[in-house]
Amino acid sequence: MPFESRYLTCAGYEIHCTDWAPQGSPAGTVIAWHGLARTGRDMDELTQHLSAQGWRVICPDTIGRGLSQWAALPQDEYCLA
């Protein structure tokens, strides 16, 4: 199932995400966020399965990972709150 590559701005940083949309109206939306030192593409197998079941799945790359922008002060900004 194909996905779209999208970018959004969050806290002043450009964040990349893949957006896996099913055919027709989605059953709902799942945000699948990767773990430490990984990327949103690690979720490809899961997203293909969920999308085939009718779910829209959005997989962001955390700041400094994948295709997202790197932080200017990584020691202060590579955290989730």
pLDDT in 10s for each residue of the chain, 81 residues:
689 999 999 889 999 999 999 989 999 999 999 988 899 999 999 999 999 999 999 999 998 899 999 988 887 776 666
pLDDT of amino acid 29: 98
Q: What does the alpha-carbon distance between residue 74 and residue 63 come to, in Å, rounded to a whole number?
A: 9
What would be the CATH architecture of the domain defined by 4-77? 3-Layer(aba) Sandwich (3.40)
pLDDT at position 37 = 84
Q: Are 18 and 58 spatial neighbours (Cβ–Cβ below 8 Å)?
A: yes
* Amino acid sitting at position 61: D
| DSSP at 57 | E
Amino acid 80: pLDDT: 63
In angstroms, the CA 65 to CA 70 distance is: 7
Q: How confident is the model at residue 6, as a pLDDT?
A: 97
